A and B are shown apart, each in its own frame.
Chain A
């Protein structure tokens, strides 16, 4: 549309009516258009032929007044209610006298939530078929990220939740916040730009996309195909924290981790340092008690060993030997004593017997025993020649003599083997 220049100047201003009609002319140029939006307000004043409603953009915070013939509105199959998404065929018109602009609706069609979701589902299946949501592509989050990238609308509750919770768990956490519209037509492109910037950032080890709750329409940009493909291509792991627990935009499926809420996202990206410290502390205490326990147990065992008499009091060893010794000595003495007694009895007995057998009594009765030089007893004179030395054993001693002559006695036989001879001697 070529710009229609209106030559005006402070000296030659144009009257209001001229401006108004110029505006009206430009607006008419747009012609009838199909417009999609959400019914924000609906006013049907009784007796008025036209119905006024405010149509709000599905994503942006922009709205416009729409007028429709009451008869037409009343005749709609599904009644028009606030919050309904509709598609309107209307012609923009400018009311010069009040300087207001509104869309004159000729046709209104319902866009139910169902249709929106249907379109979303179709897109999900398409992207799923391409493998963008494959589980094996999910990456693990770093345990201790150097820097956490955060895509959110500045000053939002979501931003505060993520920052506060993360810092409470790990005060030293560093954030790189990338602001982006979290609603409306600008949302998808801005989030994409933020994601790509954070992905390039050398220090950012994980990126969180956080937004509070919203209607299906509000969260629609987070199912934007372009956004999903960007996340798919990113090298840095992405955590999706969009809306409440039950919301599941496509971003949830392509992200490496889905957090139910911004607070949950904070818990997933940074460890609870205080908890980790407690763990370390607990482990160290455990170590100490274990070592101390072992030491005490070993000490008790050693003390027990050392207190055993065998070690503690060696005298017992020797003492045992001493008592043993005394016992042995006593026994020895006793046995010796007995033996001596027996020996002396035996001796006396032997002596008596010896005495009885001994020739001493006989000698005492005056007999003598003749022995040759060699000590053999001579029982006959045969073999004895004068001059042979002999000794005579008498009771009191022994006489050494030399044989003067011998004189055999014919009637006494001197054969020693004659038993009769021998008995007489023994008597």
Chain B
């Protein structure tokens, strides 16, 4: 997981981030990675999870915005 990959994490789509996250978890659980790789994988997982959460929060905010605009 090179540094550039992290930088581009912001622009990845939700689906890409989520798919990679699933892969990271799978590899971590499969084991067989060096300690160094495990740590790197784990950090990558956290990063991806944050990206996904941001996408979901953004989507929910947009939905709530429409709904609240209607109630007001």
Residues of A within 8 Å of B22, CB to CB, are 305
Q: A302 contacts B45, CB within 8 Å?
A: no
Residues of A within 8 Å of B21, CB to CB, are 302, 305
Within 8 A of A (CB), among B44-63: 45-46, 49, 52-53, 56, 59-60, 63
Assembly CA distance A288 to B39 (angstroms): 40
Q: B49 contacts A295, CB within 8 Å?
A: no
Q: A314 contacts B42, CB within 8 Å?
A: yes
Residues of B within 8 Å of A351, CB to CB, are none
Q: B49 contacts A306, CB within 8 Å?
A: yes
Within 8 A of A (CB), among B2-24: 14, 18, 21-22, 24
Residues of B within 8 Å of A295, CB to CB, are 56, 59-60, 63
Residues of B within 8 Å of A308, CB to CB, are 25, 29
Does A126 have its Cβ within 8 Å of any Cβ on chain B? no
Q: Given A302-B18, A308-B29, is A291 in contact with B63 using a C-beta cutoff of 8 Å?
A: yes
Assembly CA distance A3 to B25 (angstroms): 115
Q: Given A301-B18, A302-B56, A317-B38, is A311 in contact with B63 using a C-beta cutoff of 8 Å?
A: no
Residues of B within 8 Å of A302, CB to CB, are 18, 21, 49, 52-53, 56
Q: B28 contacts A311, CB within 8 Å?
A: yes
Does A292 have its Cβ within 8 Å of any Cβ on chain B? yes
Q: B45 contacts A311, CB within 8 Å?
A: yes
Does A342 have its Cβ within 8 Å of any Cβ on chain B? no
Q: A321 contacts B18, CB within 8 Å?
A: no
Number of A-B contacts (CB under 8 A): 51
Does B69 have its Cβ within 8 Å of any Cβ on chain A? no
Mark each residue of chain A from 300 to 334: 1 if its CB lies under 8 Å from any CB of chain B, else 0: 01100110101100100110110000000000000
Assembly CA distance A291 to B66 (angstroms): 12
- Nearest Cβ distance between residue A315 and chain B, in whole angstroms? 10
Assembly CA distance A310 to B38 (angstroms): 9
Residues of A within 8 Å of B35, CB to CB, are 318, 321
Does B1 have its Cβ within 8 Å of any Cβ on chain A? no
Overall SS of chain B's interface: helix
Nearest chain A residue, comparing its CB with the CB of B29: A310
Interface residues on A, range: 10 to 19
- Nearest Cβ distance between residue B31 and chain A, in whole angstroms? 8
Interface residues on B, range: 20 to 34
Q: A305 contacts B28, CB within 8 Å?
A: no
Nearest chain B residue, comparing its CB with the CB of A317: B38
Among B25, B39, B53, B63, contact of A292 (Cβ-Cβ < 8 Å): B63
- Nearest Cβ distance between residue A326 and chain B, in whole angstroms? 15
- Nearest Cβ distance between residue B56 and chain A, in whole angstroms? 6
Residues of B within 8 Å of A388, CB to CB, are none
Does A125 have its Cβ within 8 Å of any Cβ on chain B? no
- Nearest Cβ distance between residue A277 and chain B, in whole angstroms? 15
Mark each residue of chain A from 276 to 311: 1 if its CB lies under 8 Å from any CB of chain B, else 0: 000000000000100110010011011001101011
Residues of A within 8 Å of B60, CB to CB, are 295
- Most chain B CB within 10 A, of A288, A291, A310, is at A310
Residues of B within 8 Å of A310, CB to CB, are 24-25, 28-29, 42, 45
Among B18, B39, B49, B59, contact of A311 (Cβ-Cβ < 8 Å): B49
Residues of A within 8 Å of B49, CB to CB, are 302, 305-306, 311
Residues of B within 8 Å of A317, CB to CB, are 28, 38-39, 42
Q: A311 contacts B42, CB within 8 Å?
A: yes
Nearest chain A residue, comparing its CB with the CB of B33: A317
Assembly CA distance A302 to B25 (angstroms): 12
- Nearest Cβ distance between residue B65 and chain A, in whole angstroms? 12
Residues of B within 8 Å of A320, CB to CB, are 31
Assembly CA distance A299 to B56 (angstroms): 7
- Nearest Cβ distance between residue B46 and chain A, in whole angstroms? 7
A residues adjacent to B (C-beta < 8 A)? 288, 291-292, 295, 298-299, 301-302, 305-306, 308, 310-311, 314, 317-318, 320-321
18 pairs, CB–CB < 8 Å, chain A vs chain B: A288-B67, A295-B59, A295-B60, A298-B18, A298-B56, A299-B56, A302-B21, A305-B18, A305-B21, A305-B22, A310-B24, A310-B28, A311-B42, A311-B45, A317-B38, A317-B42, A320-B31, A321-B35
Sample of 18 more A-B contacts, CB < 8 Å, known A305-B21, A317-B38: A291-B63, A292-B63, A298-B52, A302-B18, A302-B21, A302-B49, A302-B53, A302-B56, A305-B18, A305-B25, A306-B49, A308-B25, A308-B29, A310-B24, A310-B29, A311-B42, A311-B46, A317-B42
Which 9 interchain pairs have the tightest Cβ spacing? A310-B28, A311-B45, A314-B42, A306-B49, A317-B38, A302-B52, A310-B29, A310-B25, A308-B25
